[in-house]
Amino acid sequence: MITSTLPRLTARGYELDTAPQCFGELCPSTAIIEDAAALRERMIEDGYLYLPQALDREEVFAVRHDLMNILAEHDYLDPDYPALEGVAKSDEHPPFALNWAHHVASLQHVLYAGRMMEFFTNFLGGEVRHFDYTWTRAVPPKFGTAPHCDIVYMGRGTTNLYTAWTPLGDISYDIGGLMMLENSHRHDKLRNNYGRKDADEYCTNRRDDLPQGPGGGGQLKPGGVLSDNPVKLRAGLGGRWLTTEYAAGDVLIFSVYTVHASLDNHSNRIRLSSDSRYQLASEPADERWIGDNPIAHGPQAKRGMIC
C-alpha cells in the first residue's frame, strides 16, 4: 500500500511527483472478480483491472524458477547468489528476441490455461483466443519502459483486446513495476490521434523514413512511444500515475488505449514479468502476433503510406 514513506521513484530517469494529485494506488478488483458485468463496467470506467492473487503463487514461482535458470545459463545473473533471487551480473539487458515462452511449459500453463483463461472466458463472455506471441521481459537495474498505448502495436484486429501484465516474482517499488495513467483510456484527443497510428507503417514519400523496426516512421516517435518523459506527459494529459508493490500471483489487466509505463529498477535484481494478450475468438486478430511463427514487427509487417 502506498504510504507517506515512499522511496524516491523515477521513470525514464525523471523523479515522479508523489503528491496526492499526481500519484496514487491501483484499485483492486478482487471483490468483483466473479462478476463479469461489474468487471466490464470497471474496465470501461478505469481502463484497467488490478487482481491481487488471481493466479496461483506457487505456479508463478515455478515460472520464475525456470526463467531465472535460463538467465543464469546465459550468464546474466550473479553466480554468488541463488538464481531464484535474480541478482543481476550487470545492467546488460537480456535479449528481448529470445521469446522464451514458446520453450517454457510452466509459463505456457500460467498464461494460457487454468485461472487466467477462466478469468478471460468469464470477463469476455465467450470463447477466448490469446496471441501466440508472448512478451517476456527481464529488466536489469536501469530505466523502465517509456509511456505508450498498446493500440499502435496491435491495432490491426479487434480493439476489444486486453493485455495481462503478470509479475513473475514479488516486485517492490525499488525493483519497479508497471504504472497506469489514470483516465488516459478516455482521452479523446489521444485516442483519435496517437491511437489511430500503427508502429509498422512508414512514409514512402520521405527518403529518411525507412521500413525497419517498430516506430511508425513519420507517424510516431521512435519505438512508438508517447513520450520519454512520464512527468511531462502526465502534466499534459492529466490524471495520476497509479501503481503499487506487486506480489507473485497478481495480474494487472488493461485496455489497448490505457497509457502505461514502468518505474525504473533501482535494485540489484532483474525484474521479471510477462505480457500476454486476449480477445474473443470470434473477433479478428492482428496477423502480426498469431500463428506458429508470428511475423511480429518484422519486414512482412511493414506498410508503406503517403504521409
Which of 188, 211, 179, 187 is closest to 198 using CA atoms?
A: 211
Give one DSSP letter per residue of 80-114, joined into a string. TS-GGG-BBSSSPPPPGGG-GGGG-HHHHHHHHSH
The single residue listed with the C-alpha cell 500453463 is: 109
CA–CA dist 238, 83 (Å, integer) = 41
Query: Is the Cα dihedral 47, 53, 55, 60 positive or negative?
Result: positive
Which of 185, 146, 138 is closest to 163 using CA atoms?
A: 185
pLDDT at 211: 61
21-281+296-305 CATH:
2.60.120.620
Q: Residue 196, Cβ neighbours under 10 Å: how many?
A: 11
CA–CA dist 33, 133 (Å, integer) = 26
113 in Cβ contact with 185 (< 8 Å): no
Task: Count CA atoms closer than 13 A to 99's CA, side-chain side.
Answer: 13
Give the start-to-end residue ranges of the domains of the chain: 21-281+296-305
CA–CA dist 142, 133 (Å, integer) = 25
Question: pTM for the whole thing?
Answer: 0.94
- Within its chain, how far is the Cα of 18 from the centroid? 22
Q: Residue 304, Cβ neighbours under 10 Å: how many?
A: 13
pLDDT at 51: 98
CA–CA dist 66, 161 (Å, integer) = 28
The single residue listed with the C-alpha cell 521481459 is: 137
pLDDT in tens, the chain (307 residues): 444 578 999 999 999 999 999 999 999 999 999 999 999 999 999 999 999 999 999 999 999 999 999 999 889 999 999 999 999 998 777 765 456 667 899 999 999 999 999 999 999 999 999 999 999 999 999 999 999 999 999 999 999 999 999 999 999 999 999 999 999 999 999 999 999 999 998 877 776 666 665 655 557 888 899 999 999 999 999 999 999 999 999 999 999 999 999 999 999 999 999 999 999 999 999 999 999 999 999 889 998 877 7
DSSP conformation class of 97 = G
Q: In the numeric block, which cell numbers belong to residue 15?
A: 523523479
CA–CA dist 263, 28 (Å, integer) = 19
Give one DSSP letter per residue of 55-80, joined into a string. S-HHHHHHHHHHHHHHHHHTT-B-TT
Residue type, 218: G
Q: Which residues of 6-24 are buried (b: 16+ CB within 10 A; e: fewer)?
A: eeebbbbebebebeeeebb
Angle 72-74-80 (CA atoms, 0-180°, nearest 5)? 35
